[in-house]
Amino acid sequence: MTRNAAPTGLARLGVLWASIGLALSLMASPALAGDRAQIDLIGYSPDGSYLAFEEFGIQDGSGFAYSNVFVIDLVEDAWVVGTPIRVQAGEDTIPLTEIRAQAQDEAANNMATLNIEVPAQFIAMIGDGVPRNDGQTLNFGRPGFNAGEVIGDYGLELSVFGTPAATPCLEWFGSAPQGFALGMSDSEGAREVHRDTNLPRSRGCPVDYRLFGVVAPFDSDPLSHAVAIISVYTYGFEGPDRRFIVVPLGL
């Protein structure tokens, strides 16, 4: 059939069944297995201006293992040129450990060039198994040396809203893409540290966001280069896929 020819009865029937299948899959998506990526902190540069982390998991649909290594310039709030480094298996028999090792090998030059050697730590986190938590707020401070001691009290609040995107989400999925804003408060008041205006193509078509945690260097003044880790949920093959983005907090 040429591009401008009218569809045949069989073709129209095929389109109808494809549309029904898509609708049913979207309605049933909460029961399906999406791709919930995990995160591994690699570290900071000595001056705290660069942070590296790995995002890894098993892709839904294909069952292929993947590993993405990100190096973030926290001053410019941007990926370092040449990153992220993305490695994905070509078949489901290749183990995740092999793919992760390959990604780390490919990222070794970046780690050496930027001197990524300071350990990173989660100073606050909302674990995936925490019940009755919507991931929209998180309080944190600087860990002290006494048991349970926390110095300072900072609050993060996430808000989600519709926003333009480089990807045609409405045409593809029938749903407008979602952006987010992140506010932070302390004893001196509140301020906004991030607000989406037009989503980059790399973000895809997000449907939701959640606060995952706060990361800082393992040193005497960890809050000076603290970042928020945000879970981003986008449309996937079998359900929502979780990935991660970083927001510098500017403390």
Residue pLDDT, tens place only, 206-242: 999 999 999 999 987 878 899 999 999 998 777 789 9
Compute CA distances 169 → 136, 174, 178, 222, 244, whole Å: 24, 7, 10, 38, 19
Domain boundaries, the chain: 32-118, 121-251
Q: Determine which helix (DSSP H) or strand (DSSP E) holds 248, and give its type and residue range.
A: strand 240-248
| pLDDT score, position 17 | 38
The CA distance from 18 to 21, in Å, is: 5
Examine the pLDDT at 4 and tell me if it is beyond 50.
no
- pLDDT tens string 27-86: 433 444 569 999 999 999 999 999 999 999 999 888 999 999 999 999 999 999 999 999
Q: What is the mean pLDDT of the chain?
A: 87
Given this model, what pLDDT does residue 2 score? 35
Quote the pLDDT of residue 60.
87
Indicate if the pLDDT at residue 14 is higher than 90. no
CB 178 within 8 A of CB 208: yes
Q: What is the predicted pLDDT for the residue at 33? A: 59
Residues 150-202 pLDDT 10s: 999 999 999 999 999 999 999 988 889 999 999 999 988 999 999 999 999 99
